[in-house]
A and B are shown apart, each in its own frame.
Chain A
Amino acid sequence: MTLYAFYFLSFLAVLGALMVVFSRSPVTSVIFLVMTFFTIACHYMLLNAQFLAAVHVIVYAGAIMVLFLYVIMLLNLNEAVEQQKTLLLKIAAIGTGGLFMIVLSAAMRTAETTYLDTTVAGSARSLGKVLLNEYLLPFEAVSLLLLAAMTGAIMLARPRKQKPAAKDVGALAPEPQSKVEQTESVAHEQ
Chain B
Amino acid sequence: MNSSLMQNGLALEHYVMLSTALFAIGVMGVLFRRNAIIIFMCIELMLNAVNLLLVAFATFHGDTAGQVFVFFIMAVAAAEVAVGLAILTVLYNKLKTTDIDILSKLKW
Residues of A within 8 A of B (CB): 1-3, 6, 10, 13-14, 17-18, 20-22, 26, 29-30, 33, 36-37, 40, 43-44, 46-49, 51-52, 55-56, 59-60, 63-64, 67-68, 71-72, 74-75, 77, 82-85, 89-90, 92-94, 96-98, 100-101, 104-105, 108-109, 111, 113-122, 126-127, 130-131, 134-135, 138, 142, 145-146, 148-150, 152-154, 156-157, 169, 172-173, 179, 182-183, 186, 190
Q: Check A17–B74 contact: CB distance below 8 A.
A: no
Chain A residue numbers with a CB within 8 Å of B97 are 179, 182
Q: Which applies to chain A's interface (DSSP): helix, strand, loop or mixed? A: helix
Q: Is the CB of B78 within 8 A of A113?
A: no
Residues in A neighbouring B37, C-beta threshold 8 A: 26, 68, 71-72, 77
- Chain B residues close to A by CB (< 8 Å): 1-5, 8-10, 12-18, 20-29, 31-35, 37-38, 40-42, 44-45, 48, 51-52, 55-56, 58-65, 67-68, 70-72, 74-83, 85-90, 92, 94-99, 101-102, 104-105, 108
